[in-house]
């Protein structure tokens, strides 16, 4: 395994640096938008543009990469992301920020596609182990990047410059890679309606998990700032959530391999709603308790997408696993685009301090739907269940590292 990691070490390091910058930028914008007096609706719209860029990029970026090659595409997209980061700090305007977030979403999706296709090309064996390492590196980088905000603060152009520097630094190891240029995934697609026919819980779970996590990434900084915490505490809160998301997926997945995944998803929703409710109750008054509940909430909510994918795979009778998982990825992206808009509007009408309760509400709605399907449909027999694989939303290229797609 050490040899496998060593062979793609430059790719993992470069991706980690890029994600540290991207994670920092998202939190930085939430804080800066709040200090500028933007309403929660406006902030939600700005943040939703990033995930809309993900969807748009899934159609634009493959053509760009095929036309100019991986290294040129990666260089172009990294430079674009660096320029976009600086422009956020130089021109403070909500409409302009929305446009920049859209461009940044497209660029990030393209960067994911290049790196993940390179990883697929570099490693033919032990893909499952590499996939797990890649997920851990991604989440660790996103968490670590949060703390860079304390250097200058949200109102200083220097914070945006740090993001741009990270995008430039991440370019160096990847631009020098000697790994052969691979082919991009071009397999079949599946209509979204067919995904619901395969597994209603899996499809709705993918959509709902995108809504919940998209809202969290876009609006959590607004909530934490509203309850009176400082930039350092905002970074600690978000990093705690990410760490929990990295650590709890494996034990939750182990349970889902032994029991009906819908029941596990139901209990995850209930426990996640409880953690969100406890975050609301303790607020800024309980110090480290807020971060503890945030970590537990992250571990539960981040597992929803992987549980939904596993549940859908268990229900498949025929067809391409790649096509199914690609469709679930799109559903998750649609949810992530809607989440900041919907929950941002609710925060505007109910108050930003109610953010955890809104997350709890949507978790309970998903849990209630899972309970309904448990009562109306039979469970997948234990011998027909596949193996749970921790997964987060990146690009379709990452799906080829998923060990469940071997031979697909």
Same domain? For 149 and 37 the reply is: yes
Same domain? For 221 and 137 the reply is: no
Does residue 249 belong to any structural domain of this protein? Answer: yes
**Burial track 311-321 (b if 16+ CB lie within 10 A, e otherwise):** bbbbbeeeeeb
CATH number at residue 159: 1.20.1250.20
What pLDDT, in 10s, does the model give residues 140-186?
Answer: 888 888 999 989 988 899 999 999 999 999 888 777 766 666 666 55
Same domain? For 7 and 139 the reply is: yes
Does residue 104 belong to any structural domain of this protein? Answer: yes
**Would you state the pLDDT for residue 184?**
61
Same domain? For 235 and 167 the reply is: no
Q: Which of 178, 201, 236 is the last residue of a domain?
A: 178
343 with 45: CB under 8 angstroms? no
**Would you state the pLDDT for residue 275?**
96
* C-alpha Rg value of the chain to the nearest Å: 20
**Would you state the pLDDT for residue 237?**
92
For residue 9 the two structure tokens come to: 């070490």
For residue 120 the two structure tokens come to: 């697929």
**Would you state the pLDDT for residue 377?**
82
Same domain? For 160 and 192 the reply is: no
Does residue 222 belong to any structural domain of this protein? Answer: yes
Does residue 406 belong to any structural domain of this protein? Answer: no
Same domain? For 97 and 127 the reply is: yes
pTM of the model: 0.89
Same domain? For 378 and 293 the reply is: yes
Q: Which of 123, 158, 178 is the last residue of a domain?
A: 178
Same domain? For 168 and 283 the reply is: no
For residue 330 the two structure tokens come to: 């799109």
Same domain? For 121 and 193 the reply is: no
Does residue 340 belong to any structural domain of this protein? Answer: yes
Tell me the three state secondary structure of residue 237: helix
Boundaries of domain holding 21: 1-178
Give the other-Cβ count within 10 Å of 194's Cβ.
13
Does residue 404 belong to any structural domain of this protein? Answer: no
Same domain? For 168 and 226 the reply is: no
* Geometric angle at alpha carbon 48, from 91 and 63, rounded to 5°: 90
Low-confidence spans in the chain with pLDDT less than 70: 1-7, 120-132, 177-188, 284, 286-287, 317-320, 383-385, 388-390, 394-408
| The total number of structural domains that make up the chain | 2
**Burial track 86-123 (b if 16+ CB lie within 10 A, e otherwise):** bbbbeeeeeeebbebbbbbbbbbbbbbbbbbbbbbbbb
**Burial track 66-81 (b if 16+ CB lie within 10 A, e otherwise):** eeeebbebbbebbebb
**Would you state the pLDDT for residue 159?**
92
Does residue 154 belong to any structural domain of this protein? Answer: yes
Same domain? For 137 and 236 the reply is: no
Q: Which of 147, 178, 209 is the last residue of a domain?
A: 178
């Amino acid at each position: 395994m050490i040899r496998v990691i060593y062979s793609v070490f430059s790719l993992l390091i470069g991706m980690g640096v890029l994600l540290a910058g991207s994670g920092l930028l998202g939190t930085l914008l939430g804080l800066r938008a709040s200090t500028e007096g933007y309403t929660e609706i406006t902030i939600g719209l700005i943040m939703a543009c990033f995930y809309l860029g993900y969807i748009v990029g899934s159609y634009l970026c493959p053509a760009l990469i095929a036309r100019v090659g991986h290294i040129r595409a990666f260089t172009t997209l990294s430079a674009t992301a660096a320029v976009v980061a600086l422009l956020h700090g130089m021109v403070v305007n909500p409409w302009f920020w929305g446009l920049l977030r859209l461009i940044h979403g497209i660029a990030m999706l393209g960067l994911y596609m290049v790196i993940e296709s390179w990883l697929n090309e570099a490693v033919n064996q032990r893909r499952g182990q590499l996939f797990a390492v890649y997920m851990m590196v991604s989440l660790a980088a996103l968490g670590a990047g949060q703390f860079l905000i304390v250097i200058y603060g949200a109102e200083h152009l220097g914070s945006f410059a740090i993001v741009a520097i990270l995008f430039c630094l991440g370019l160096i190891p990847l631009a020098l890679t000697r790994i052969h240029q691979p082919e991009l995934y071009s397999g079949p697609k599946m209509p979204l309606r067919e995904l619901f026919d395969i597994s209603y819980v899996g499809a709705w779970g993918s959509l709902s998990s995108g809504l919940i996590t998209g809202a969290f990434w876009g609006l959590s900084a607004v909530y934490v700032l509203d309850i009176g915490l400082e930039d350092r505490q905002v970074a600690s809160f978000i990093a705690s959530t990410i760490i929990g998301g990295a650590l709890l997926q494996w034990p939750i997945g182990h349970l889902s391999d032994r029991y009906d995944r819908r029941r596990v998803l139901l209990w995850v929703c209930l426990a996640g709603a409880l953690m969100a409710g406890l975050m609301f109750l303790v607020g800024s008054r309980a110090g480290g308790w807020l971060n503890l509940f945030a970590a537990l909430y992250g571990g539960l909510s981040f597992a929803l997408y992987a549980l939904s994918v596993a549940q859908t795979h268990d229900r498949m009778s025929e067809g391409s696993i790649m096509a199914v998982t690609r469709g679930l990825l799109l559903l998750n992206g649609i949810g992530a685009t809607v989440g900041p808009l919907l929950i941002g509007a609710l925060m505007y009408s109910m108050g930003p301090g109610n953010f955890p309760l809104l997350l709890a509400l949507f978790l309970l709605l998903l849990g209630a739907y899972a309970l309904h399907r448990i009562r109306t449909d039979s469970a997948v027999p234990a011998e027909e269940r596949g193996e749970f694989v921790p997964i987060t939303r990146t690009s379709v290229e990452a799906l080829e590292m998923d060990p469940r797609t071997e031979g697909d």
